[in-house]
């Protein structure tokens, strides 16, 4: 009897080992790609960031950014975007909810809204720069309404350039956010909304009591995605609309890193800026993920 149990135990161990080996072989290509294209470049950049004039280790590059006014202004511009994060989160959520609960053929509308995201960012920047230009249709309409005082070149004015970029980005991204929320809404049992209607709940009450709690993980996911995008993915929008100007009023951290590396030919300092930007995004994303799971557990 003991011999039989021992044989069975060995058999289970061999099967477990084979399964573990099979799993390792399946993830090995992904791990190799991760190491070659992510971990190795990151390690190289980290070493470069602590190198100054062939001296390693050195914190001079990190000390320099504390007095880099362009970098500090670029971070401030990104903080403006983070302040707008509730708008980036709520606009596609409200549109998705309206489509899902009040419009027939919402699946067709989902494909239409996605077109704004599918339009290349560079093309969107060019179109919006014409649309919001001094002689663009927005200003023409403002002048026709007798509001010439606010008919300005939105992308070329210091006080409005960064906000105009964020308006462009919101338009470009809201389609993806809408589709993302619609996918989450499709998982809500219809009985939930039917019960709310029978109880006389309004659309806003259904949104607060049913939709938002149910799609909270998706809200957290979209918030993380938008946060990373506002710090890291604005390059094509800015280069084709404002170029980072006027002055540095629409310069973002990624634009500053590119300027330092491409124009200043200072890869070590650019690496320090890149590592710092990575850590900033990591902290913001970690806080959002923690909020998402803590609220999900409370719910």
85-123 per-position pLDDT tens digit: 999 999 999 888 888 776 666 566 667 777 888 889 989
Task: Identify the H or E element spanning 150.
Answer: none
CA-to-CA distance for 70 and 255, rounded, in angstroms? 10
CA dist 220 to 41, 105, 175, 177, 213, Å? 29, 27, 17, 12, 11
Q: 10 Å Cβ neighbour count for 153? A: 17
- Spell out the long-range contacts of 229-233 with Cβ–Cβ below 8 A and sequence spacing 24 or more: 229/169, 229/173, 230/78, 230/81, 230/82, 230/85, 230/88, 230/169, 231/78, 231/81, 231/277, 231/280, 231/281, 231/284, 232/277, 232/281
CATH code at position 178:
1.10.3720.10
**Are residues 219 and 124 part of one domain?**
yes
Using an 8 Å Cβ cutoff, are 78 and 72 in contact?
no
> pTM here?
0.84
Decide if 41 is inside a domain.
Answer: no
**Are residues 13 and 157 part of one domain?**
no
Residue 266: band (very low, low, confident or very high) from pLDDT cuts 50, 70, 90: confident
**Are residues 28 and 81 part of one domain?**
no
Q: 10 Å Cβ neighbour count for 191? A: 8
CA dist 163 to 67, 159, 181, 232, Å? 25, 8, 25, 17
Which residues form the domain of 12? Answer: 1-33
**CA-wise closest residue to 204 among 102, 281, 135, 60:** 102
Strand partners, 55: 52
**Are residues 263 and 127 part of one domain?**
yes
**Are residues 25 and 147 part of one domain?**
no
pLDDT tens, position by position, 118-150: 889 989 999 898 888 888 888 899 899 888 888
How many domains are there within the chain?
2
Structure tokens at 13: 């161990």
pLDDT of residue 225: 93
CA-to-CA distance for 165 and 54, rounded, in angstroms? 39
Q: Tell me how long the chain is.
A: 299
Structure tokens at 43: 């390690």
């Amino acid at each position: 009897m003991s011999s039989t149990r021992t044989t069975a135990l060995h058999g289970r161990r061999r099967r477990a080992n084979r399964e573990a080996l099979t799993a390792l072989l399946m993830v090995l290509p992904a791990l190799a790609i991760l190491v070659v294209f992510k971990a190795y470049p990151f390690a190289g950049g980290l070493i470069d960031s602590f190198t100054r004039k062939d001296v390693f280790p050195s914190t001079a590059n990190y000390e320099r950014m504390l007095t880099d006014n362009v970098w500090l202004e670029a971070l401030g511009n990104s903080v403006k975007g983070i302040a707008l994060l509730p708008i980036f989160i709520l606009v596609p959520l409200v549109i998705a909810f309206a489509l899902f609960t009040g419009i027939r053929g919402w699946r067709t509308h989902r494909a239409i809204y996605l077109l704004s995201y599918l339009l290349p960012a560079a093309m969107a920047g060019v179109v919006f720069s014409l649309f919001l230009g001094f002689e663009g249709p927005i200003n023409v309409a403002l002048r026709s309404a007798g509001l010439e005082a606010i008919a300005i070149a939105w992308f070329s004015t210091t006080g409005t350039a960064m906000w105009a970029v964020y308006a462009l980005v919101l338009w470009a991204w809201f389609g993806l956010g809408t589709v993302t929320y619609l996918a989450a809404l499709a998982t809500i049992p219809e009985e939930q909304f039917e019960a709310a209607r029978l109880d006389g709940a309004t659309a806003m009450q259904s949104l607060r009591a049913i939709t938002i709690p149910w799609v909270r993980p998706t809200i957290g996911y979209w918030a993380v995605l938008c946060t990373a995008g506002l710090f890291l993915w604005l390059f094509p929008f800015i280069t084709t609309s404002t170029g980072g100007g006027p002055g540095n009023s629409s310069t973002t951290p990624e634009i500053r890193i590119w300027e330092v590396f491409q124009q200043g030919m200072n890869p070590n300092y650019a690496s320090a800026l890149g590592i710092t930007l990575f850590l900033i995004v990591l902290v913001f994303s970690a806080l959002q993920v923690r909020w998402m799971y803590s609220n999900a557990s409370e719910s």
